[in-house]
Structure 1
């Protein structure tokens, strides 16, 4: 089903001084929308459940850790069935929890993932450990550890790292049991130790006073952290015993149910070039230029959205438990794709001077430049709710252009690049991320096969709605193909 462009800005809701900017942005947006013709389609098979973690909640392995930013394995299967992906190696430059890697491997592909955040790296490695080696021995060791419940008895404790933003995150009794648990898992073999540590990461939020809430951790009033000012109630805070018992039981059940033939297991070596699943740790801006040309038969990914979410903060409990200190957290934040207001400008040409092409394309994309000019104008008038928004939006598109350039280079001819992303809104203007990134991809040499739109758009933030009214924003899956 073809879609109409509904980026309409009620001029009676805006100041007259802004109306010229906004009407020009609206016209450029419509012009770019029309340039894609019938490539923009509403796909009624796409649902918010499919393009999020929700559809993975009932699937073995994928359900263990609730990585809210992930899309589902069902989506990977749907896309690979809808479009023909040649046999070979699949790449995900923003691997997250590894959904693309494992789902494509299940379909017979080799896969490579690039991931910056330590939490994502650990999730992928733990999932790999659960799929390799002697599954029967792993199950036996996990069952033995679970039956002993040694964390319930007095004994040695291992302290764990605490960040400023995680201080006091757990009830006192929970904290003691985490320390006992950490001490005891070190007595296990490497594979089971990795899974036991992973299980702990899976339950941290549920046994804490916190809840992940986009840009930060939200604190329950029972933490005492806000001196009685917070009334937020996250609901039931699980006790450590029931949480870890439930998680380990779930993992053991999935290992049983999967009933993997040990002669047909994935061949995995995190550092091997010919492994079926390969993890490269670091920023894709640094790693992509080092990959070989024409080496990948497909890309499926979901980059951080341009929505101010700071994953170094939302995953602070996990990063603290992984031993990341304050300085490392700051470095991670600056290494991420620019998606938070704290991101500083990256010297992209110093990373790779070949990216002058990507930067030039951005410089010559009229809609993008008009939006950036408008945001600077609003910043100068002190009418942005954060002065870093204009810098963030600029950084996001210029950095994504570099990612797109490298993706084109490493893809083999006629291969697809698929991306899940959301449109956003700042200072009353809807930013068509789908159109802008697809325009950049087209100028880079990609054929824009489709921009698949979810039947229902998403609303903007409550803060935005209060100032500018509700405006449905498109959530899309972009399908580009390298034709030359």
Structure 2
């Protein structure tokens, strides 16, 4: 698309379409360690490099990702020599990230792999396998997976979890439960049991090749709800994260098989679904007080959806931005004054109405004690097939929104200002007060 054909942007936004692959997992697939496991909406480590060029952090500084995902931010921060912290509500995220960040003995890993491959045999008749997993794999495939799992369970840590992750990746490749947007669909497949040993060896050897020369300094990752963070160590200089988009995608469903494979019960998966951030219709409001939050006028206009819209969408959208407010307020306790939050967000469309998540996030940030710095529009993408079929195609932005923590008195003043007035105020402040960041 030519520059002259690009849609106009709100004040303070700029096109950075050279980053279009940086806000997707595309570049992760060939990146050592990062490639072991990723999520559909993961961003790439190259985006972190771009953010650090624009907002440098001093040597020894701390970078935090409150929506840890597959650990991209924490892993890249450690690779660059920074301290790093992450949190997530999903046990799958914690498991994947811990495996990626552990220090390994390459010789020991190869010995363990040889033992696993030489001693495993198909194991039939496991009555404890959840019904959903039985549907995802043939009996013969399950026998081979169970046999490998039994041998993996005899390995010492951290090798045990290292090979459990490799087996998860193999399962993803042969499962009949395939992610499809915000859900998954059952797909027919021929039995692939005879390939499982080869696929597992291939995945494990790739991971060993990546891990053998890596040594990471200490880090902290927590199983925690970012809306009420506790026990986070230290003060952070920079937050780089991507909350779930309010597009009704439910990761507890998309990764249901993986969660069950880690020993998470159906009841615990349902609880995760219920307590996750309100980006999908089954999430519920947390028992938290959102004092100081008022629905931004920009959001209030969006909530007037057509009468034929799904009645669950309005509570979803309202709850989503209240949760972002709670998130930003919670993060603020661990972010130094003047510290930057970089949020990767995607605009979404419901009932034909575009929800400008990036602009509303800037409004919400002001209420939570931040000032809007800028926003990079990294990608223009289509809408869901359902939305385009019913309402036509309308490009939606995928954006990195930058917010800076400010003093309480300043944030209270800005709560009463629209974004355009806020930008004018910041320009005036910067022209009269010198280095705003150092002054905070």
TM-score, length-scaled by structure 2: 0.85
CA contact (8 A) 1:161 1:324 kept: no
| Partner residue of 1:418 out of 318, 322, 342 | 342
Q: Distance in 2 between matches of 1:344 and 1:128?
A: 32
- Is the CA contact (8 Å cut-off) linking 2:123 and 2:146 kept in structure 1? no
1:253-278 Cα distance to aligned partner (Å, 9 max, x none): 2134xx24xxxx323xxxxxxxx311
Distance in structure 2 (CA, Å) of the matches to 1:286 and 1:277: 20
Aligned mates of 1:286, 1:158 — CA distance in 2: 40
1:271 corresponds to: none
Structure 1, unmatched stretches of 5+, are: 8-32, 225-235, 268-275, 350-354
Alignment correspondent of 1:18: none
Q: Whole-Å Cα distance in 2 between the matches of residues 341 and 330 of structure 1?
A: 13
SS of the residue 1:187 aligns to: coil
Task: Find 1:141's aligned residue among 89, 104, 111.
Answer: 111
Residue equivalent to 1:344? 284
Q: Deviations over 1:325-345 (max 9, x none)?
A: 221111100110001112233
For the residue of structure 1 that corresponds to 2:279, the secondary structure is coil
Distance in 2 separating the partners of 1:4 and 1:434: 21
CA distance in 1, matches of 2:174, 2:194: 5
Which runs of 5 or more structure 2 residues have no equivalent in the other structure?
408-440
1:367-446 → structure 2 map (5 Å cutoff): 367-372=298-303, 374-375=304-305, 378=306, 381=307, 383-384=308-309, 386-446=310-370
In the alignment, the residues of structure 1 paired with residue 221 and residue 174 of structure 2 have an alpha-carbon distance, to the nearest angstrom, of 30
Rate the CA distance shift 1:295–1:66 in 2: closer, same or farther, 3 A. Answer: closer
Q: Secondary structure at the match of 1:194?
A: helix
TM-score (norm 1): 0.78
Change (3 A) 1:457 1:207: same
Q: 1:248 to 1:466 in 2, by over 3 A?
A: same
Distance in 1 (alpha carbons) for counterparts of 2:400 and 2:316 = 22
Q: Which residue of 2 aligns with 1:95?
A: 68
Give 1:157 shift.
7.6
**Corresponding position: 1:461 with 2:403:** no
Match of 1:12 in 2: none
Q: Does structure 1 residue 322 correspond to structure 2 residue 257?
A: no
Q: Please tell me whether the aligned partners of residues 61 and 251 of structure 1 are also in contact (alpha carbons under 8 angstroms).
A: yes
User: Is the CA contact 2:232–2:334 (under 8 Å) kept in the aligned structure 1?
Assistant: yes
Task: Please state whether the residue corresponding to 2:48 is helix, strand or coil.
Answer: helix
User: Is the 2:362–2:401 Cα contact (8 Å) retained in structure 1?
Assistant: yes
Identify if the C-alpha distance between structure 1 residues 346 and 143 changes in structure 2 by more than 3 Å, giving closer, same or farther: closer
Question: Are residues 218 and 2 of structure 1, via their aligned partners in 2, closer, same or farther at CA, if it must alter by over 3 Å?
Answer: same
Alpha carbons of 1:160 and 1:94: their partners in 2 closer, same or farther (altered >3 Å)? farther
Shift of 1:147: 5.0
The match for 1:73 is 45
Aligned residue for 1:239? 195
Whole-Å separation in 2 of the counterparts to 1:155 and 1:338: 41
Partner of 1:287: 229
